[in-house]
Structure 1
Amino acid sequence: MDAERQRQMILDQFTRQAIPFTELPAHSEEASNRLVIETAGITPNDTVLDVACGPGLITCEIAAIARRVTGIDLTPAMIEQAEKRQSSKGLANMDWRIGDVTVLPFDDASFSSVVTRYSFHHLLDPKAVLAEMVRVCQPGGKVTVVDMFTSSPEQADALNQVERLRDPSHVRALGADELVQLFEDAGLKNVRTEYYKVEMQVEKILAVSFPNPGDGDKVRQLFRDDVGVNRIGMGAMLKDGAVYYAYPIVIVVGDK
């Protein structure tokens, strides 16, 4: 897949997802937000960049703690939602940029903390984006990536298949060990990890997704067939006649 096609796919998906993504409760779950912020070590002294910030869900939570926070995202509709969220929370220590995260429009060492959440599986070249995150981070600062991950090659194939059907802008979920290796290769030190899960109901996630015609039914069938099997690695289960599953999430933090 070429970079321009992927860029257009992200713009298409997330322009349509901007409002429903913002309103999905699982994306604003307090305990997971708190775990991310604590693991990233964000303090009142920090100047933070949120890369691929989307509608600013965790960006605004970070701004309640940090000195200054900047969010950047490719999709104007997402930044519009982020600005509305900032206004509703009365946060004055924030600014937003529309831009491509593959080449961040900031000087070297501009931020003491650089984070991204739920973005790496959309990237054609996560190594290059991590390098940019490291570049704009100050010496002694922290870089944090939060994303879904896979536990084995077999589960990776199944998870990536179902996610590409649900969201055509999905590229590939990395293994947790792959993410740690990327951090070490980028020269980050003291790399550590934390984990959590984000529970979803199949019908609710499909209601806020925009799969290609017919692919939503394929997603339903794949999850239904995976109940009690766990080939996908998301623990599909039936509750009150509905199929639920949980994204396995890893938080990876390294020191520059």
Structure 2
Amino acid sequence: MLSLLKKLTAGTPAPVQPETPPATPAADKVDPYMLGLHDAMLSGWFNQQTGELFSGFPVTPEDTLLDVGCGDGGNVHFCGMRGAKIIIADIDAAKVEATRQRLGDTPARDVECHVTDCNPLPIADETATRVVSTEVIEHVDDPAQFLAELVRVGKPGALYLLSVPHPSSEDLQKDIAAAEYFQKPNHIRIISEEQFKAMVSDAGLEVISHSQYGFYWSMWMLLFWEAKVDFSNPDHPLLNHWADTWQAILASPRGTQIKQALDAVVAKSQVIIARKP
């Protein structure tokens, strides 16, 4: 059989190999954090045109803005660029120093820094015209005491921007997240929409608006736990494909409408704008 095959193929010209097509340039990898920033801006954050840190929360050069739990300083950097006086407070000295340095390239009227557990805040009564505290209340032992301090340091008429994780996202993470995610010093409580509004109202503030956003981050976090990568370098096919998909959704003709529909179902955060009487 082998000899017959050789005879049949003797003198048969070798098959022509197809030319290798030129390599397609690799698409730029989607940065999940920059995509998250874009998604947040679509939800009302960081509006350069109106000067609003979040919809309904304008910041002007005349304002004295206090950020309690400043984190990486993204919120106060925006406000510093508006020329406001900035006061930052956080329990983490390294974050306070990093944020202080980050504010160095802004036209902020002044920058005041405090390393504190906020019990109490080392700030005089009726100091701030704008008070910000995002994703902090779920960490603290006594939310009522914490909010009382925020109210104490605000001037009459001061606006408050407060956020906590939305229960829809927290419930989604419960059986998937690492155990420490729901242990001190991380999230020690899940706060319902009704509880959040009651906390703010009971502290003596008038709730102006209550909204939610962040389906993108809810799904990203869910996949993050499964990917088991480091948060500082979250490179994994699950996360990369999700970022690609979300970017394609936002770029589609009804992308914003789809985002709003999904944000209404599973949101990473809920946001309250309130006023001190």
Give the TM-score taking structure 1 as reference length. 0.67
Q: Secondary structure at the match of 2:138?
A: helix
Choose which of 188, 213, 221 in structure 2 pairs with 1:196.
Answer: 213
Unpaired runs of 5+ residues, structure 1, are 1-22, 210-223, 225-235
RMSD (CA atoms):
3.8
Choose which of 75, 97, 101 in structure 1 pairs with 2:118.
Answer: 101
Alpha carbons 2:87, 2:111 under 8 Å: kept: yes
How far apart in 1 are the matches of 2:119 and 2:131? 14
Tell me how many residue pairs correspond in the alignment. Answer: 209
Choose which of 238, 243, 248 in structure 1 pairs with 2:268.
Answer: 248
Corresponding position of 1:54: 71
Larger deviation, residues 189-198 vs 26-35: 26-35
Larger deviation, residues 163-172 vs 97-106: 163-172
Corresponding position of 2:6: none
Larger deviation, residues 140-149 vs 246-255: 246-255
Once the 2 structures are TM-superposed, how far is the Cα of residue 27 of structure 1 from its aligned partner?
7.0
Question: Structure 1 241/72 Cα, relative in aligned 2: closer, same or farther at 3 Å?
Answer: closer
Once the 2 structures are TM-superposed, how far is the Cα of residue 251 of structure 1 from its aligned partner?
1.3
Once the 2 structures are TM-superposed, how far is the Cα of residue 45 of structure 1 from its aligned partner?
2.3
How far apart in 1 are the matches of 2:78 and 2:243? 33
Cα deviations by residue, 1:19-55 (Å, 9 ceiling, x for unpaired): xxxx954675561333643332333321110001112
Cα deviations by residue, 1:146-190 (Å, 9 ceiling, x for unpaired): 221114xxx755545636544742212311221111111112124
Once the 2 structures are TM-superposed, how far is the Cα of residue 252 of structure 1 from its aligned partner?
0.5
How far apart in 1 are the matches of 2:111 and 2:36? 20
Corresponding position of 1:227: none
Matches within 5 A, 1:117-128: 117-128=134-145
Unpaired runs of 5+ residues, structure 2, are 1-31, 233-237, 246-261
Corresponding position of 2:18: none
* AA matched with 1:44: P
Instruction: Report runs of 4+ in structure 1 exceeding 6 Å deviation.
Output: none
Alpha carbons 1:44, 1:66 under 8 Å: kept: yes
How far apart in 1 are the matches of 2:128 and 2:86? 9
Question: Structure 1 247/253 Cα, relative in aligned 2: closer, same or farther at 3 Å?
Answer: same
Corresponding position of 2:250: none
* AA matched with 1:250: Q
Once the 2 structures are TM-superposed, how far is the Cα of residue 241 of structure 1 from its aligned partner?
11
Matches within 5 A, 1:103-182: 103-151=120-168, 159-160=173-174, 162=177, 164-166=179-181, 168=183, 169-170=185-186, 171-182=188-199
Corresponding position of 2:231: 208
Q: Secondary structure at the match of 2:117?
A: coil
Give the TM-score taking structure 2 as reference length. 0.62
Cα deviations by residue, 1:57-108 (Å, 9 ceiling, x for unpaired): 1111112225211111000111122123112446453222111123111111
Q: Which has the larger radius of gyration?
A: 2
Alpha carbons 2:197, 2:207 under 8 Å: kept: no
Q: Secondary structure at the match of 1:122?
A: coil
Alpha carbons 2:129, 2:159 under 8 Å: kept: yes
Alpha carbons 2:207, 2:272 under 8 Å: kept: no
How far apart in 1 are the matches of 2:80 and 2:133? 14
Q: Secondary structure at the match of 2:70?
A: coil
Cα deviations by residue, 1:209-231 (Å, 9 ceiling, x for unpaired): 7xxxxxxxxxxxxxx9xxxxxxx
How far apart in 2 are the matches of 1:67 and 1:178? 32
Corresponding position of 2:61: 44
Question: Structure 1 89/241 Cα, relative in aligned 2: closer, same or farther at 3 Å?
Answer: closer
